[in-house]
Structure 1
Amino acid sequence: MIRTIPPDLGRVKIEEACQKIPGFMYLALGDPMQKRNYYRCGWIRFEDDVDVPEVISKLGEEKLDGFRMQLTHSTRPFVAKMRMAPGAGSRPERIVVDLEKIKKLASLLEEQAEQLAQLPGDDNAMEPPTEPKDRGSLAVEARAKHLADMLDSEFPEGDEEKMLAKKNAIAFDLYLAYVRYAFNCCYYCAAITDFHEELLRKCIQHGRSPATNKSDWKETRWLDWLDSKVALLIDRDNVDPTGYGGKDIPKELKKLCEPHVKREDEGKFRCSSCSKLFKAEAFVEKHIANKHPELTRDVEDLPFFNNFALDPHRIQPFTHAPPPTGNQQPPPQAYGLRAPQQREQPGGRDFADPYRHPYPPNHHYPPAPPPISLSGYGEYPPPRDSDGFYRRRERSPPNNRRRLSDRLGDRVHDQPPLVLTGSEGLPAKPSTTFAEPMSERAGPAASTSIPPAGAPPKVKEDPRAATGRKISYMDMDEVAEGDVELSY
């Protein structure tokens, strides 16, 4: 087993190095792993009597384009989980559809196998058969008929619909096994590999879940995916490449020829390159493609692109970078993603100057509304500078700010400025401090008080209003001692 093969090292160079060792049979390659920078693994198959440790030492010393292969002796079988098709694939009506498709697929694989066996230059090339050769599909049909007869003999009076569904399921399972072990093909994966090791690496086994009657959008989506993939195997020439991300070559050719086709009149079209006249536009396009190939050179690469798009197992692009597997994570460009950009400001606005918009100098601005004067608030919109950018309105310094009455005109009468000392609304500060002892404030001077102005005669002042007098808590619902009683 070759642990890692770089993406720029092809099969031919590895096979040339392996053919130098006697007993070499074939080279099997795995799929490129996108999360590992498109590196892949491989398997070199030798005959049973080959000394494997000696082969590993010889191949390990040889460098291929500066790359030294890391080899190991693979003695244990590959272990993986068995895949299961959803229950929608086990429904009787679905098995009938899949049975017809897998019969077509088996017939195509048999034809390809016969053509590959007759290729010149191969030591094992077969001579063209003089009479029709027996195919494996005929043996599968005979085996399915035999099992169906056994089923009829065991259950002679069974339900016809159930019996027919059972016979179709038996025939379909036989075809699944036939294409897998004869052609290294998995129908449910729509995968065809060259060697057994490649198929095991991709799908070790594919079963079928019990049939379900409920309709699930996931199962419906899986059936659509299966039909689209199998169509690429049995009817690739008739599928629309645009449905798989490819290009429509006639439409692309028409786009390239349009700038070089000149219509002069009804039924008169001229080639602008050589001034030749034609009766229809299609004739001009054909003329340009044949006589002026330099104008349609971009179409030459489209068949290669469509071959990639129509590959059932082409590498799908990454939507996000995979989780890191080591200390060093490859950059996003290694997975076909864009590099992380600097944090863009919303709307292109500069946070340092929110009134500055990124318009170019020759930008055609929309018509501005009429200026509105708000008695000192300025006009709208703010003025622009020479390069067409809005500028932040400069505020006046704090010492030059106008008062509200100046900005609002005669709506508010001028009032003298207030000088705030921080004690507005508070009672007068007592003449004595709380630190003085109570004995000093309880003397005769404290009991002498001056009645308030306008009070009736013989009215005493509230003792609590005495300066420096501390009053303890009293119930406000009862008459306090010393209150002034007024008679109305």
Structure 2
Amino acid sequence: DYDRGRRERFSPPRHISPQHKRMRRDCFCASLQEFLLNMEDSVDETEAVKRYNQYKLDFRRQQLQDFFLQHKEQEWFRSKYHPDDITARKAESLAALKTRLSVFLFLLDNNWLDNMSLDMDHAPAIIKLLDAAVIKMEGGTDLDLQVLEVPAAPTASVGELSAGGGGEKSQGDPSGGSVSGHSSEMNRSRTEETTGGDTGETKDSDKVRTRRKERGKEREKEAPPKPRPLHLTTSLFIRGIPPEVSKEEITALCRRYPGFLRVALSDPQPERRFFRRCWVTFDRSVNIKETCWNLQNIRLRDCELAPVVNRDLCRRVRSVNGLTHHKPVVRNDIRLSARLVHSLDQRGELWAGQMETNPVLKNITDYLIEEVSAEEEELTGASGGNGDDTGTKDPASSSEVTVETDEKLLKVLDRLLLYLRLVHSVDYYNFCEYPAEDEMPHRCGLIHVRGPLPVGKITAAEVSEHQRMCEERLAPLLSPSETLSEDEAAKLGKKDPEQEVEKFLSANTQELSKDKWLCPLSGKKFKAPEFVRKHILNKHGEKVAAVRQEVEFFNNFLLDAKRPALPENKPLPPPAQGATHTEILTSCLPLPAAPPGVPGFPAQSPQQQSLLGYPPGVRPPMPGGAPPYPPNQFGAGRGNYDNFRGHLGGGGGFPGKQRNNRGVRGDPRSIIEYRDLDAPDDLDFF
């Protein structure tokens, strides 16, 4: 009894069967033999590989179709590929881009960018510039910008008040204005309410409340408007949102709480069942912990939100290698950033595609042409060669050079980098674009700038390596979105709208008897199929249009070279030279379909199984005969129990040490081991 209780405490009961029954390893060996036996004897290795390639193509085509049908109704998928959602999203992004452009031009015209240098020595000024941009993006006025001129007061937790020597200061009031006048008014009101009690007279509480509201409105009218800290927000973070939950549902739920501003959702994560991360932004004046507590036990589509408070950014200005101060590096950065500005402006349809219209690109070629003293060096004999033709290494690549700075070039570069950061949300020195930044809690959060100058000298090899690295990491931003070629798309099953319409018409033209045809869409009968066709095109045009739209929907997904997909398993190493027919086929076969509920394996149709030569219902073999199920499928709690306890005839426990089979407290009886006969045979004991 003691031993049985100990087992149940540290491992799940063995009588509970798993959700999916594991298959024995020898079943897969039989399936492989059956596959080889069903093939003709005349099939050589070349023909076998050809059949496999065709099977693999059909398998991938079916994968894409199944993935599309599985996710087509989910919001994240429709926003990426559905024609209507693409149009709406493009209009929203273009409007947000134009708003950011107008903010940048405002800052440029009002001298906010003058004397702005993107290095760590100017971090406070950079943060102030980012906050000013956010205030304008939020619809703030010039008065609201004055909040940045007030020194920041020490902040307490959200919703709390910090007592000062001359009065009280609220966290939501960055100006730190005294509220002693308001306190005196409140004390006066309380005195008026309680005076009647001392004299034995009572006053109507409604009249007192009404008079208090009127006085408050009068004070608001008389008091001058205060700048609003629109750049300060507070937010909640939700770790996992199911893919079937839409952004509108989360917005409708969180809008019931005061101070709600917006919702941001990340792209789905295939390795986490396409769950998404979520940020809910509120006004800075709300008690975010109370809102978080109210959302703790709320379920949305049987999913607990479980939010947590999102902390503010700790380091908004971060430094990169000080080599970026070097003049050749700066000139190269000007060239790359100018290309990036031009490319993103064309993609966002800004400036009507005219490069000279953008003020940051005005006369940019003057700073891209390098000037050298080649003639003087030639006459004085100071010119160095680039190495001979014998393949020897250029000695100049390892020579040390002094870091050379050019303030004029740095000013031109900083103007370009600020344009990229404020307009296109591109952090140049971090080589990345912050997606959907306008929906995040911080609309201009991080920025990377130049670090301190390198100590000592640098080598020419370091400079060239840094420039090469910059071009490689910026290549994804400079290149347009990747799409498949027509040939590759046709192989993967690209659909023709007219052919799909013909299939739709044929499927809805049913013959009942001679000279009697039915349209199932309306239930009407006709004498000939051409009348049914004409009826559907005239009376059910919206359904025909829906078919064409569905085809465009699928083709948009298919043509995306970076389309989402299930995470792939690591491929097996290629077969060795001189491998046999069986070894080649075994190494080439893909992973078969897993039962519902086991992630990581796509579905497989009976038609695909017949392509390999085995009948429907017989599972294809795994490479090497391994089972398609992950280890420890009994769920959490079992852990590495079998390896610790040991297998049949094995010692288990620690390596190199025989397990003690005496039982508990010297009991000579050995522990009885139970083993599932359907479990994989890790040891060859059959």
Tell me if both proteins adopt one fold, taking TM over 0.5 as the criterion: no
Larger relative CO (CA 8 A, sep 6+): 1 or 2? Answer: 2
Greater Rg over alpha carbons, structure: 1
Instruction: Report the structure, 1 or 2, having the larger helix content.
Output: 2
TM-score by structure 1 length?
Answer: 0.39
TM-score by structure 2 length?
Answer: 0.30
